[in-house]
Homo-oligomer: A and B are copies of this chain.
Amino acid sequence: MDRSTYIDNIDVDLAKKTYFDRLNIKLEVEEVKVIESLDRVTAEAVIAKISSPNYNAAAMDGIAVRAGDTLGATETKPMTLEENKDFIYINTGNPIRDPYDAVIMIEDVIDLGEGKVQILKSAHPWQHVRQIGEDIVATEMIIPSKHKIRPIDIGALISGGIERVKVYKKPRIGILPTGTEIIEDVKDLEEGKIIDSNSRVFEASVIKLGGLPKRYPPHKDDYQLLKNAILKGVEENDILLINAGSSAGTTDYTVKLIRELGEVVIHGVAMKPGKPTILGVIKDKPVIGIPGYPVSAYLVFDNFVRPLIEKYIGLKEKEEELIQATISKRIVSSLKNKDLVRVNLGYVNDRLVATPLSSGAGVTMSLVKADGIAIIPQNVEGVEAGDLIDVELLKPLSEIKKSIVSIGSHDLIMDILGDILPLSSGHVGSMGGILAMKRGECHIAPIHLLDEETGEYNISYVKKYFPNEKMALIKGVKRQQGFIVRKGNPKNIKDFKDLAREDILYINRQRGAGTRILLDYHLRVDNINPDKVKGYEREMTTHMAVATGVKTGTADCGLGIYSAAKALDLDFIDVTYEDYDFLIPEKLLDEPMIAEFIQVLKSKEFQDRVQALGGYKFGETGEIIII
């Protein structure tokens, strides 16, 4: 079995420079109509052919006069002028011709009737006259070369008498998805198959950059098929992207084929995710092998393919727009790699705080939800909570400023809130939320923590963890917790004692989750050793993940909320209603965005949508308890 497990670990910037230097990029130029040139990039500086205005033009509605004639006119010594002798009426834009050389605004002209007017002030020469070339002077540079044409540029080009403009040709980007497991149609989805999504992300990204994407259908991992496809892709495009097939697995022909058909310049970059990137050349054209995991694919595209396409489009190299944020959690990083970490961002206590999202390279949703990408440079062994880090923004800062940052327990109602309000929501369990709040990382923390002694929810925890701070609880919902089991409850699960049965496979929540605390409480009450619960160590971070485990048969039972069971058409055995509330520092209650949050909680729209999920009760929803 041939397993080429060896790949390089080249610094990202060095890899990019080495590769781009190796490429022999020749830009092609074409001429397009100015009116069709939006977003195209100029291949040369554009010089005005005519001046604008091309005549001396009235800048105001009024009368055209000879400035010299009006000398001496004052409020106490008004001057009378005669139409067609001393002045003519003109509108904005009319030519000012010899002998006239100035305009008096209509507001400053007193109409005496019979073609006569009075003025109370002399005019100075060329007043209210747009002189020839005031806007654009012939031979003046309108826009430089390598400039992306904006709407306003089109206006200036037209005014400068330009009808056609030389721009760089749009590069053609071939996109070749590979892998026997890849399918195109969701209808063909079965175990072991994956719907091709990366190639569609690339396609859309190429369009946004201004290139011409050409996407090929997914190709099987077949040596000859792939070879033909790569040759065709190189023939038909300026750049070829090959997706998947760049890790070290048995069926990865990409690197071998690029080496056979051309040259592998770099295989393996010091970036995580994105390590197994292949930067190659075939027939003088760049061919890039991109790893298959969605997040790796996206970041490799962003770090290598985007700058390459920008070169082909003719854009000058841009610097990343980075912003500094305070990282809220320790991130362990290897000295070997530059780490790219998806983060949520929020302004909390006037600091921009970055909270890492789930780090799996397969988690597309972490990119969809991310506000930015935090960069942990190579040669840095991770960062500590509180450190300042560089972040590349994925959303405008103005949007981030308006977002409520929520860190804590997961519930489906957070999705509904996030659809109504600007809300950035991190799911780390109730205790995780309390700790995040203590570190000043969030505005609100959704929690549902049972006090085993009083049977009361949340309040005692807040007292314990915030002894010196004025905190508040915004009451949320009462939600039903219970056992999520397969339809018809085939294993006949009734209570916590059943979880210790030999034939029951459980699926658990992570430590710190309120639901986990609820489980552990009941196990203790019923004197059940967690070791006896098979699957106790399989920790999921959301209710839906637990329900999905049950739905697909990899577990028999998990503790979770009713709405998760209902969403996947599973059965549900009621355990308890619990209080799912929002912890907040008292001083934030006056913030307009919190007022809006409370208003939404109380709104009919929100409550109707939550009712439709099932398993929720309202009551004190939106009320405030000061602790």
| Total copies of this chain within the assembly | 2
Nearest-neighbour CB distance to chain B for A254, whole angstroms, equals 13
- Given A133-B545, A156-B368: A552 touches B107 (CB 8 Å cut-off): no
A5 contacts the other chain (CB 8 A): yes
Residue numbers in B under 8 Å from A3 (CB-CB): 61, 106
A158 and B200 within 8 A (CB): yes
Find A155's partner among B198, B248, B544 (CB 8 Å cutoff): B198
A402 and B364 within 8 A (CB): no
Question: In the complex, A126 Cα to B536 Cα: how many Å?
Answer: 12
A294 and B61 within 8 A (CB): no
Find A368's partner among B59, B143, B197, B318 (CB 8 Å cutoff): B143
Known: A39-B208, A136-B364. 17 other contacts (CB 8 A): A1-B89, A35-B200, A50-B186, A52-B364, A54-B191, A55-B192, A61-B250, A93-B292, A106-B248, A130-B362, A135-B360, A141-B419, A143-B368, A150-B204, A155-B294, A156-B368, A318-B396
Q: Mark A293-304, 1 if CB is under 8 A from B, else 0.
A: 010001000000
A163 contacts the other chain (CB 8 A): yes
Residue of A131, A153, A251 contacting most chain B CB atoms (<10 Å): A131
Question: In the complex, A38 Cα to B213 Cα: how many Å?
Answer: 14
Question: In the complex, A318 Cα to B395 Cα: how many Å?
Answer: 12
A249 contacts the other chain (CB 8 A): yes
- Given A56-B554, A201-B155, A398-B321: A135 touches B362 (CB 8 Å cut-off): yes
Find A205's partner among B151, B179, B567 (CB 8 Å cutoff): B151
A191 and B95 within 8 A (CB): yes
Ordered by A's residue number, 26 sampled pairs between the chains whose C-beta atoms are within 8 Å are: A3-B61, A3-B106, A5-B106, A45-B419, A55-B552, A91-B250, A126-B538, A130-B360, A132-B545, A132-B549, A135-B360, A135-B363, A136-B364, A137-B542, A138-B568, A143-B368, A150-B204, A151-B200, A151-B203, A153-B368, A154-B204, A155-B294, A155-B298, A156-B197, A158-B195, A321-B396
B368 and A142 within 8 A (CB): yes
Name which residue of chain B comes closest to A146, CB basis.
Answer: B419
A415 contacts the other chain (CB 8 A): yes
Q: Mark A376-388, 1 if CB is under 8 A from B, else 0.
A: 0000000000000
B45 and A415 within 8 A (CB): yes
Interface residue tally for chain A (C-beta within 8 Å): 122
Q: Mark A184-213, 1 if CB is under 8 A from B, else 0.
A: 001001011011111011111101100000
A140 contacts the other chain (CB 8 A): yes
User: Nearest 5 A-B pairs (CB), nearest first?
Assistant: A151-B204, A139-B567, A137-B544, A91-B249, A141-B415
A234 contacts the other chain (CB 8 A): no
B418 and A141 within 8 A (CB): yes
Residue numbers in B under 8 Å from A307 (CB-CB): none
Question: In the complex, A164 Cα to B548 Cα: how many Å?
Answer: 24
Residue numbers in B under 8 Å from A57 (CB-CB): 192
A398 and B368 within 8 A (CB): no
A124 contacts the other chain (CB 8 A): yes
A144 contacts the other chain (CB 8 A): yes
Nearest-neighbour CB distance to chain B for A621, whole angstroms, equals 21
